[in-house]
Structure 1
Amino acid sequence: MTTLLAILVDGSIYASWLFLVAAGLTVIYGVMRILNMAHGSFYAIGAYSAASLVGWWFTGVGGNPYVSYLLLVGAALVSGLVVGLVVEFALLRRMYGKDEILMVIITYALLLILEDAVKLVWGVDPYFTYQPYSLMGRSTFGGLTFAIYDLGLVGVSLAIGISLWLILNKTHKGKLLRAVIHDREVAVAMGVNVKAMFAVTFAVGATLGALAGALTAPAISVSPGIGVEVIVLAFAVVVVGGMGSIGGAAAGAVLVGLTRAMAVHLAPELELFVIYSVMSLVLAVRPQGLFGRTLVRKI
């Protein structure tokens, strides 16, 4: 029972982190049909921005330590919005309507550029911002000890998932966005400002990526290359769940998270293998993913 509890808790924590990382990626693809390879760089920028700001708060200002949580979120919002809007306006807006493969190449090139830009701005030395992580302390349940900060990520991912679903399904702007998703040409004919929708969508997706990095920063060593590592896992999650589906991203994150937790506790040598095994098995049975819809091609 102790092992089962550990698998459930560890799997839930890892799944919540995976969803935070993959949510922005699946939002951008769902609306814009852009497989954004640069999403990992948004994650890295959010992590570095948060680590720098929180580190300055604790070492330079020495104020109320609980303000650091607001700084984490604030750093993600500012960095994600700024970078997302600049990239969309300066680069992607000129590429709309191009082949999806070309967009993958363009965003991959952007990933390489941003990775070097991160090194130029923050250097190559790792950043440590452990204070928000340790500030919440630890809790014991069922004979196991867990960091409360990690458990808090589960609540944050649930809040973000529910908020995205409500916005898309219960608001006027969300319904307009769904119209753009289903048929861009008809939406334009009906007077929907698709360019503005795209700009907002990409900025939101970039901000979600930066937020995932900022919230992860206290639990890891923020160092060069974290964006490249994350993008591979994010793609695995969205492919399993179905490209462009928020519910699919959540289901894929839970499936991958619990499977990885089982491997870690029962067969550690299979940890990395099982993630891609799950992806392969799902795609073999359902190529569009668990919640993906079959796209109709216009001829």
Structure 2
Amino acid sequence: MHTAFTILIDGLTYASWLFIVALGLTLVFGVLKILNIAHGSFYALGAYAAASFVGWGASMKWAPGLSLVCMLLAAIAVAVVLAPLTERGLLRFFYGRDEVLLVLVTYAMFLILEDVTKLVWGANPYYVSEPYGLFGNIDIGVQSWVGYDFALVALAVIVGGIVWWGLNRTRQGKIMLAVIHNAEIASSMGVNVSRVYMLAFTVGIFLAALGGAFTAPMISVQPGVSVGVIIVSFAVVIIGGLGSIEGAAIGALIVGLARSFAVHVAPVAELFSIYIVMAVVLMFRPEGLFQRTQTRKI
């Protein structure tokens, strides 16, 4: 019973940040129909920017609690700076082209951003220790967990709720849903599709950077961190169904629990446990668990 509870808590912690990142990936695909290989690079940039912002705040003798604000500002800065450069300066010229070409373009962007991070921050790892101790430890039975892990779970719930509310309860969100359903019809009815693309891509980058920023206190921020993130994020959206918020949540939970189970029960299977789960799901649901029915075009 104790082991099962530990697996559950660790799985939820891993799934929380993964859901935030995968939510941005699935939102960009739902609106722009782009499999963004560079999504992991935005995660890494969020982590690096958070490390820089928190370090700057510490040098200014700010209160430790403001480090959370620094991490949020880091994610916003990454989205504000990179979204216009990427979407307006590059991706917009490839809309309507073959999907494989878009994948290659985002892969090239991934390679460029990897080198940019090395040029700006170097090859040495960064550590963001201040925020991790803000919430103390939480004792449950004989086991003790870091309070920051539970705060990260709460953040994932809040972010998921805000995105769902924004899409389903606001005017701009309903316009975005109309573009997701059929961009051509939405454009013919006066919707500025280009502006919707820009908004969706900005939110997607922000979510990736937010996941990176708030994961930075739990990891060593170093070159190559983006590679593992994009692979696992793709596993999440493939399991849940591309373009589905509910699928991203369930997919992240499945991946988190599968990894946690492997770590505690069969550590040698950790590296491929996620892919086993993905293969099993795709055997029975090739379109993913929550893939919406696609309109057939004649």
Normalised-by-shorter TM-score class: over 0.9
Are 1:38 and 1:108, in contact at CA under 8 Å, matched by a contact in 2? yes
Counterpart of 2:70, as a letter, is: L
Q: Are 1:66 and 2:38 an aligned pair? A: no
- Please list, as runs of the form range in 1=range in 2, the aligned pairs for 1:236-247 lying within 5 A after superposition: 236-247=235-246
Match for residue 154 of structure 1?
A: 153
Deviation at 1:297, TM superposition (A): 4.6
- Please list, as runs of the form range in 1=range in 2, the aligned pairs for 1:81-160 lying within 5 A after superposition: 81-160=80-159
Q: Partners of 1:85 and 1:147 in 2: how far apart?
A: 37
Could you list the per-position Cα deviations for residues 8-33 of structure 1 after superposition, in whole angstroms to 9, with x for gaps in the alignment?
11111111121012111011001110
Q: Which segments of 5 or more consecutive residues in structure 1 lack a partner in the other structure?
A: none
Match for residue 175 of structure 1?
A: 174
Q: Which segments of 5 or more consecutive residues in structure 2 lack a partner in the other structure?
A: none
Counterpart of 1:186, as a letter, is: I
- TM-score normalised over the length of structure 1: 0.97
Are 1:13 and 1:151, in contact at CA under 8 Å, matched by a contact in 2? yes
- TM-score normalised over the length of structure 2: 0.98
- What is the RMSD computed on CA atoms of the aligned residues? 1.0
Deviation at 1:136, TM superposition (A): 2.1
Q: Partners of 2:131 and 2:112 in 1: how far apart?
A: 30
Could you list the per-position Cα deviations for residues 147-184 of structure 1 after superposition, in whole angstroms to 9, with x for gaps in the alignment?
11011110000011111111111111111111111111
Deviation at 1:102, TM superposition (A): 0.9
Counterpart of 1:127, as a letter, is: Y
Match for residue 57 of structure 1?
A: 57
SS for the counterpart of 1:34 is: coil
Q: Partners of 2:109 and 2:294 in 1: how far apart?
A: 27
Q: Partners of 1:213 and 1:297 in 2: how far apart?
A: 37
Could you list the per-position Cα deviations for residues 257-284 of structure 1 after superposition, in whole angstroms to 9, with x for gaps in the alignment?
1121111111111112210011001111
Match for residue 8 of structure 2?
A: 8
Q: Are 1:224 and 2:223 an aligned pair? A: yes
Counterpart of 1:120, as a letter, is: L
Are 1:37 and 1:107, in contact at CA under 8 Å, matched by a contact in 2? yes
SS for the counterpart of 1:156 is: helix
Are 1:81 and 1:204, in contact at CA under 8 Å, matched by a contact in 2? no
Match for residue 32 of structure 2?
A: 32
Deviation at 1:228, TM superposition (A): 1.3
Match for residue 298 of structure 1?
A: 297
Q: Partners of 1:131 and 1:94 in 2: how far apart?
A: 42
Q: Are 1:186 and 2:185 an aligned pair? A: yes
Structure 1 outlier segments of 4+, above 6 Å = none
Match for residue 271 of structure 2?
A: 272
SS for the counterpart of 2:212 is: helix
Counterpart of 1:113, as a letter, is: I
Deviation at 1:36, TM superposition (A): 0.3
Q: Partners of 2:16 and 2:254 in 1: how far apart?
A: 11
Q: Partners of 1:117 and 1:274 in 2: how far apart?
A: 32
Q: Partners of 1:81 and 1:63 in 2: how far apart?
A: 24
SS for the counterpart of 1:289 is: coil
SS for the counterpart of 1:69 is: helix
SS for the counterpart of 2:149 is: helix
SS for the counterpart of 1:97 is: coil
Counterpart of 1:282, as a letter, is: V
SS for the counterpart of 2:6 is: helix
Counterpart of 1:164, as a letter, is: V
Are 1:259 and 1:275, in contact at CA under 8 Å, matched by a contact in 2? yes
SS for the counterpart of 2:138 is: strand
Q: Partners of 1:169 and 1:111 in 2: how far apart?
A: 32
SS for the counterpart of 1:146 is: strand
Deviation at 1:294, TM superposition (A): 3.8
Q: Partners of 1:15 and 1:187 in 2: how far apart?
A: 34
Counterpart of 1:34, as a letter, is: I
Deviation at 1:296, TM superposition (A): 3.5
SS for the counterpart of 1:145 is: strand
User: How many residues are aligned here?
Assistant: 298
- Taking only the aligned residue pairs, the percentage that are identical comes to 52
Q: Partners of 1:226 and 1:274 in 2: how far apart?
A: 19
Deviation at 1:142, TM superposition (A): 2.1
Q: Partners of 1:256 and 1:14 in 2: how far apart?
A: 8
